[in-house]
C-alpha cells in the first residue's frame, strides 16, 4: 500500500556527515606507520612529516577521534535518527571508507565491542516500553550486494543466479522482490538474525584486513505503529537502513588477485556510482532532474536515503596512517555535506480503514444527490449533480475493489491479554499454522498465515479462538488466499533457529 506523507519535518539536519578516525591497528604499529591526520570535535587536519598541520582543516558535523567509542558515535549521530524512525520517519545510517578503516567495527561491533546496530535495536525496544499508547510491529531483513547481485542473508535457500530483482512500486519507491522479512519481538531475536546473516556474508582475508567485507550489506528494520484503539486504523510505517559498505581498495595494497580482484572491481565500481550520485545531489538539482541511481544496485536500493524521504547519517571511517585514501574519503564526505533530504512521516491506511472511509464518502455523496434530485430547474445544479454522479461512480468502484481485497485477507487483532506460552503450544500443534506475534510493543497480535492456511474438512478449527475477545466471522473462514497484512507483510513468524509456527 502506498505510504501517504502526513507531515513534513525540518530538513535542515536530515543529512549528517561524521568522520571517525580509528586508532592504529597491530599491523600498522608493527611497521611504525606514520600518523597523517589529527582532529578536534569538528575538523580534521592533515599533518606533514614533521607532525605539523598542513593547510586548513576539513569541517564536518562531528569528527570522532581514535579515543572515542562507538557508543559516543551512536549517541551523537545515530540516536536522533533512531528516535525519528520510531516516530514514523525513514532513517538510514551508513558507514563509508577505505578497506580496513573500521566500518564493520562501527556498524556491527567486533564481538568485544558493540556496534551501532545493537545499540539502535536496544533503543528501539526501550522506546516501545516508554510508549504504551502505541502498538508496534517489527520486521527485519538483511541483504547483501555481492558482485552486483543482491542476495538475501536471511533466506534458507540461495537466490537464483543473478540474485534478487529490484522492482519499483507503481506509486513510486523501490523494493527488492522476494526479500524475506522476519517478524521479531525482542532485541535478542533481532540480534540473532543479524548474526545469522553476518555468517553468510562474503568475507575474505586481504593484506589490508584479515576479515575484509567483500559485499555491501543493508540490515533493515521495518516498524509499523499505530495508536492503541485508534478509530481509523492509520498506521505509521517507517524503515531504518543500517548499511555497512564494502571498502574502496587498491589492488597494490590489498594484494587482490583472481576472485578477490573481481570483487574489488565490483566494489570500486559501485562506490564510484555512489560518489557520482552524491556529487549530483550536492549540486541541489531541480526536482525531476536525472540522477544515475540505476547505475548500481546499491544506489538503486538506497535511492530514498539519498536526497529523498529519509533522515540519513553517513559515518566516514578513516585510517590515520593513510594519506591518499583518507583524502579521498574526506572528499566524498565533503561532497555529501551539501545533500538535503526531505523526510516526512509515512502513514498508510489499512484496507479496512480505506473501505470505511470510502463507505462514508459514498453515503455523503448519495445524500447530496438525493437532495439535488429533489430540486429542479437550475442548470448549475444539474451540472453539479453530474459531477457528483461521477464521483459516486468512482467511489463505488473503489469500494468494490476494497471489498474484493478484504475477502482475500484476514487479519485478526487480539487486544486482550493472551497467555502467550499457552498460545505458542497451541500454535505449534495446530496443523493450520496459526502465527502470532505477541509482546510487540504493549499489545498482543494474533494472525493467521494466509499463504499456508488450509481450510479444514470440518469447518474451521477454533482451538485458538478460546482466546478472549477473539473470533472469526463464520462467513470469512474459508477465505484465506495469500493477501498480505499491511501492504507487503507476510505474517509468518519464524524463530531465528528456523522454527516456524
Ligand atoms: N575504532 C576502532 N577501535 C579499535 N579497533 C578498530 C576500530 N575500528 C576498526 N578497528 C579494527 O580495525 C580492523 C579493521 O576494521 P573493520 O574490519 O571494521 O574495517 P572495514 O572498514 O569494515 O574493512 P573492509 O572494508 O575491508 O571490510 C579490525 O581489526 C577492527 O577491529
Instruction: Judge whether residue 418 has pLDDT over 60.
Output: no
- Ligand 1 pocket list (CB less than 6 A): 22-23, 25, 97, 99-105, 110, 209, 211-213, 246-247, 317
Taking the C-alpha atoms of residue 204 and residue 213, their distance in angstroms, rounded to an integer, is 7
Q: Nearest 5°: phi and psi at 328?
A: -70, -35
Do residues 492 and 452 lie in contact, with contact meaning Cβ atoms separated by under 8 Å?
yes
| Distance (Å) from CA 85 to ligand 1 centroid | 27
Q: What is the ipTM of this complex?
A: 0.99
Q: Which atom of ligand 1 is least distant from the CA of 203?
A: 27
Instruction: Find the range with the poorest average confidence among 66-70, 362-366, 449-453.
Output: 449-453
Residue-wise pLDDT tens digits, 176-216: 988 988 888 889 999 999 999 999 888 777 777 778 888 89
- What is the three-class DSSP state of 164? strand
Any bridge partners for residue 37, and if so which? 46
With cut-offs at 50, 70 and 90, classify the pLDDT of residue 124: very high
Q: Which atom of ligand 1 is least distant from the CA of 70?
A: 1
Taking the C-alpha atoms of residue 272 and residue 291, their distance in angstroms, rounded to an integer, is 14
For position 265, what pLDDT does the model report? 81
pTM listed for this prediction: 0.71
With cut-offs at 50, 70 and 90, classify the pLDDT of residue 382: low
Q: What is the mean pLDDT of residues 27-54?
A: 90
Instruction: Judge whether residue 318 has pLDDT over 90.
Output: yes
For position 196, what pLDDT does the model report? 92
Q: What is the mean pLDDT of residues 338-366?
A: 68
Q: What topology is assigned to 15-340 in CATH?
A: Kinesin (3.40.850)
More confident residue, 86 or 484: 86
Annotated binding site: 97-104
Q: Domain coordinates of the chain in residue numbers?
A: 15-340, 351-407
Do residues 191 and 118 lie in contact, with contact meaning Cβ atoms separated by under 8 Å?
yes
Residue-wise pLDDT tens digits, 388-397: 777 778 777 7
CA-CA-CA-CA torsion sign (491, 497, 499, 501): negative
For position 208, what pLDDT does the model report? 76
| Distance (Å) from CA 112 to ligand 1 centroid | 13
Do residues 310 and 343 lie in contact, with contact meaning Cβ atoms separated by under 8 Å?
yes
Residue nearest to atom 8 of ligand 1 (CA): 102
Give 171's DSSP letter: T
Instruction: Judge whether residue 423 has pLDDT over 60.
Output: no
Residue-wise pLDDT tens digits, 205-232: 777 777 888 889 999 999 988 887 666 5
Amino acid at each position: 500500500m502506498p505510504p501517504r506523507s502526513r507531515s513534513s519535518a525540518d530538513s535542515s539536519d536530515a543529512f549528517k556527515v561524521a568522520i571517525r578516525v580509528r586508532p592504529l591497528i597491530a599491523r600498522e604499529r608493527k611497521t611504525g606507520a606514520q600518523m597523517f591526520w589529527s582532529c578536534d570535535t569538528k575538523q580534521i587536519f592533515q599533518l606533514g612529516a614533521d607532525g605539523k598541520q598542513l593547510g586548513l582543516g576539513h569541517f564536518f558535523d562531528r569528527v570522532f577521534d581514535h579515543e572515542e567509542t562507538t557508543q559516543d558515535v551512536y549517541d551523537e549521530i545515530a540516536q536522533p535518527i533512531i528516535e525519528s524512525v520510531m516516530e514514523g520517519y525513514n532513517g538510514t545510517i551508513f558507514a563509508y571508507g577505505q578497506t580496513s578503516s573500521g566500518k564493520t567495527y562501527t556498524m556491527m561491533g567486533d564481538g568485544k565491542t558493540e556496534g551501532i546496530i545493537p545499540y539502535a535495536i536496544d533503543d528501539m525496544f526501550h522506546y516501545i516500553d516508554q510508549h504504551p499508547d502505541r502498538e508496534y510491529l517489527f520486521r527485519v531483513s538483511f541483504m547483501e550486494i555481492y558482485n552486483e547481485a543482491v542476495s538475501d542473508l536471511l533466506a534458507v535457500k540461495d537466490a537464483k543466479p543473478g540474485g534478487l530483482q529490484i522492482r519499483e512500486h507503481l506509486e513510486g519507491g523501490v523494493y527488492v522482490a522476494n526479500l524475506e522479512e522476519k517478524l521479531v519481538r525482542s532485541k535478542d531475536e533481532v540480534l540473532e538474525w543479524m548474526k545469522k546473516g553476518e555468517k553468510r556474508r562474503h568475507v575474505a582475508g586481504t593484506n589490508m584486513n584479515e576479515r575484509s567485507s567483500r559485499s555491501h550489506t543493508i540490515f533493515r528494520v521495518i516498524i509499523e505503529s499505530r495508536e492503541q484503539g485508534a478509530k481509523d486504523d492509520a498506521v505509521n510505517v517507517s524503515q531504518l537502513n543500517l548499511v555497512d559498505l564494502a571498502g574502496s581498495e587498491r589492488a597494490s595494497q590489498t594484494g587482490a588477485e583472481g576472485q578477490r580482484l573481481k570483487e574489488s572491481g565490483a566494489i570500486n565500481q559501485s562506490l564510484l556510482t555512489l560518489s557520482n550520485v552524491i556529487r549530483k545531489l550536492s549540486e541541489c538539482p531541480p526536482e525531476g532532474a536525472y540522477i544515475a541511481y540505476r547505475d548500481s544496485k546499491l544506489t538503486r536500493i538506497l535511492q530514498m536515503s539519498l536526497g529523498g524521504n529519509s533522515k540519513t547519517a553517513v559515518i566516514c571511517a578513516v585510517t590515520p596512517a593513510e594519506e591518499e585514501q583518507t583524502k579521498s574519503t574526506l572528499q566524498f564526505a565533503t561532497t555529501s555535506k551539501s545533500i538535503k533530504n526531505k523526510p516526512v512521516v509515512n502513514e498508510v491506511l489499512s484496507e479496512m480503514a480505506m473501505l470505511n472511509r470510502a463507505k462514508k464518502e459514498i453515503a455523503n455523496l448519495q445524500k447530496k444527490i438525493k437532495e439535488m434530485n429533489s430540486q429542479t430547474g437550475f442548470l448549475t445544479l444539474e451540472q453539479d449533480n453530474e459531477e457528483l454522479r461521477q464521483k459516486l461512480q468512482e467511489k463505488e468502484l473503489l469500494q468494490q475493489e476494497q471489498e474484493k481485497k478484504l475477502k482475500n485477507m484476514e487479519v485478526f487483532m487480539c487486544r486482550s491479554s493472551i497467555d502467550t506460552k499457552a498460545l505458542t503450544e497451541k500454535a505449534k500443534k495446530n496443523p493450520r499454522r496459526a502465527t502470532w506475534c505477541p509482546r510487540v510493543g504493549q499489545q498482543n497480535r494474533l494472525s493467521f498465515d494466509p499463504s499456508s492456511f488450509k481450510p479444514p474438512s470440518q469447518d474451521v478449527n477454533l482451538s485458538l479462538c478460546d482466546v478472549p475477545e477473539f473470533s472469526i466471522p463464520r462467513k470469512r473462514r474459508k477465505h484465506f488466499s495469500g493477501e498480505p497484512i499491511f501492504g507487503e507483510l507476510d505474517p509468518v513468524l519464524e524463530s531465528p533457529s528456523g522454527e516456524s509456527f
